[in-house]
Amino acid sequence: MLMHIHQKISAIFSSRHPATVITLNVLILLLLGWFDVVTGDYSLIILYLIPVSLVAWFVSMRCGILFCILAISVRIAADEYSVPPDFSHAMLHYWNELMELFFLLIMAVLFSTLKKNLVTEKTLSTHDPLTGALNRRFFFDLAEHEINRSRRYSLPFTVAYIDLDNFKDVNDNLGHRTGDEVLVTVASTIRSNMRSSDILARLGGDEFVILLPETFGEAAMVFLTKMHNDLNETSAQNNWPVTFSIGSATYIEAPQAIDEVILRADELMYSVKRSGKSRLLHREFRGGANG
């Protein structure tokens, strides 16, 4: 039951613009203020937690804190309107309001922190923490889905396997910090050439793979050639002794297994390595047969 309610709330607010979320929760606050006036001298602070927690979760911690202040302001206004002030108990009344504010602030921070931790955990489970590229497991899940779609609608796709030549020399001679900088820069350079539909993953220490949906060989070669040139130029500008061996396979008809897709691109990349490195080798395949 609670899980179903959570899913419904997420479905309502997750896709909304922050301004929409804030507006809706301002209306909820005003409704709670009216309800506070009607019910009289009853504490409804738990109900005020609803808009505060929604804003803290779906917008930001800062907005959640501002809503705490707004909620207490509405509470005070409702109390002043519904109950005539008794100056003999004024200090106690305002002390209670202060405690309610602290309660809302604590809950807003907790909700916002929990959301941030959940997002971080989800990102770490699907992405490489250093480069921000997808990790191996998540890439294979997405690639399998894309290959099934290509097979269903008879769409082509291209897979490119990229290996950094001489990367070990960077770690040995320039240090692992520079090695990390190289990997981050390589991922950023690749990403700057990609379309929003393309998929980038880091499969190993210095190996990346790209999946280009709905991409024939000619278009793939244009993309990969430009990307290869950009990578080499970036490496030269930073005086890194790194070049790039790329094996690329275009599938006119999708094979049955994702492993076969990656294996062919990997074999092409190793052909480049054996023939002198720093080159792009591309082939087209039609189903299980060489094109």
Mean pLDDT confidence for 249-270:
88
Q: Are residues 188 and 95 in the same domain?
A: no
Q: Are residues 122 and 145 in the same domain?
A: no
Q: Are residues 165 and 118 in the same domain?
A: no
Q: Are residues 141 and 276 in the same domain?
A: yes
- Which are the catalytic amino acids? 206
- In the β-sheet with 199-202, what is the strand arrangement from edge to edge? 199-202, 207-213, 157-165, 243-253, 280-286, 289-290
Tally of domains within the chain = 2
Q: Are residues 84 and 149 in the same domain?
A: no
Q: Are residues 147 and 48 in the same domain?
A: no
Inside any domain, residue 33:
yes
Q: Are residues 190 and 253 in the same domain?
A: yes
Mean pLDDT confidence for 104-118:
88
Q: Are residues 273 and 151 in the same domain?
A: yes
Residue 116, domain extent: 2-126
Q: Are 268 and 247 in contact (CB under 8 A)?
A: yes
43-97 pLDDT, tens digit per residue, is 678 888 889 999 998 888 999 999 999 988 888 888 777 655 554 456 666 777 8
Closest among 212, 97, 112 to 162, alpha carbons compared = 212
Q: Are residues 142 and 268 in the same domain?
A: yes
Res 291: pLDDT: 46
Looking at 126, 160, 185, the residue that finishes a domain is: 126
Inside any domain, residue 131:
no
pTM: 0.68
191-219 pLDDT, tens digit per residue, is 999 999 999 999 988 999 999 999 999 99
List phi, psi (to 5°) of 57. -80, -50
Q: Are residues 164 and 281 in the same domain?
A: yes
Inside any domain, residue 281:
yes
